[in-house]
Structure 1
Amino acid sequence: MLDDIDRRLLRRWQSDASLSPGELADAIGITAGKAARRLARMQEVGVLEGVSAVIDWAALGYAVEVSLRVTLDKTQARAFDEFIEAARAVPEVTEIQTFLGRVDVRLNIVARDMAHYQRIYRDRVLTLPHISDIAALMQIARIKAEEALPL
C-alpha cells in the first residue's frame, strides 16, 4: 500500500504540517510534482484526511477539560443516533467516542472555568437524550497527546 517514499513524506509532514509539497519534496529528495501526486493519491484513498490547526484551548481561556463517560438507555432503538446528534450540537464538546462495554459514549468537554462547566453540564449535557448514567473525569494534566504514527 505505502512504499518508502510515501512513508518518508508522511513522517516529514507529521513533524511539520506547515510544509508545502515542494518543501516536503526537497526534504526527502524527490521532485515537487512527485510529492504532490503522491499526497493527492494518499488523500484519494483515505490515508490523508486533511490538514488541521492544533489549538491550545488553555491559551484561549478554556482552563477546564472534563471527560464524561455516558451509559445510554439501550431499550430505545435510536438511542445512540439521537444522543450523538444532540451531543454534536453542544459547542463545548470537542470529542465524541463510542465504545463497546459498560460505557457507551465518551464526551470531551472544555470550559472556561468550573462555573462555566457547571452551566454546560446542567443546561446542555443533562438535557441530552437517552442518558441512563454519567460519570465525570476531571483532567488534571495532559501527559501525551500525539497523533503522529511511527511510519
Structure 2
Amino acid sequence: MIILDDVDRRILRHFQAEPALATADLAERAGVTAATCWRRLDRMRSEGVILAEEAVIDWSALGYTLEVSLRFTIDKDQPRAFDEFIAAAREVPEVLEIQTFLGLVDVRLSVIARDLRHYQEVYRERILTLPHIADVEALMHIARIKTDEVLPL
C-alpha cells in the first residue's frame, strides 16, 4: 500500500477535479510550488497511484442511444472457456466494459448501440456468437444516476 501525505492528497483532489490543468496552476491550487507538484505527480505516476489521463467521450453524442448490460454464465466444461469468452468479447467494438464476478453471474458486458435495430444486429451477430455461453440475461439501461471515479481524498 502506498502512503500519501496531506500534500499528495491535496494535489490529487485538485488533479481529479481538473486533470487538464497545467502543473503550475495545479500547484497554485494545491498550495505548493510547481517543482514540488511536478515531483509529487511524477512519483505518484511511477508508484502506480495515477494510472492514466484519458479523454472521456460521450458516446450518446455520437448517435449511440442504447446501453444494455448483458450478464453471462459461462459453460466452464472446457479449461480455457472463460479466457476464450473474454478474448472474443474484447473484439466486439460495441462492448464498452467487461466485468467478471464470483457468484451466479460470471461476466457482465456493457454494450452500446445506435438504436434497437442496431442492438438486435449486434446481439445476434456478435454477442450470441461468443464462445461458451451457458446463459445470458439482458438489462436495458434506463438512466445513469451516478458515474464518478473521484476518490474521497
Q: Tell me which interval the TM-score lies in, with the shorter structure as reference length.
A: over 0.9
Q: Are 2:149 and 1:132 aligned? A: no
Give the gaps of 5 or more residues in structure 2.
Answer: none
Moved over 2 A (4+): none
Partner Cα distance (2:112, 2:11) in 1: 33
Identity of aligned residues (%): 62
- Indicate the residue corresponding to 2:63 in structure 1: 61
CA displacement, residues 83-133 of structure 1 (integer Å, 9 cap, x when unaligned): 111100111100000000000000001111010111000000001111100
The normalised TM-score by structure 1 is 0.98
Question: Which of 11, 17, 27 matches 1:15?
Answer: 17
- Indicate the residue corresponding to 1:80 in structure 2: 82
Question: Which of 30, 49, 52 matches 1:50?
Answer: 52
* RMSD between aligned residues: 0.7
Partner Cα distance (2:112, 2:5) in 1: 39
- Indicate the residue corresponding to 1:106 in structure 2: 108
Equivalenced residues, count: 151
Amino acid at match of 2:14: R
Partner Cα distance (1:149, 1:5) in 2: 15
Secondary structure in 1 aligned to 2:37?
helix
Amino acid at match of 1:49: L
Give the gaps of 5 or more residues in structure 1.
Answer: none
> How far 1:54 moved relative to its partner?
1.3
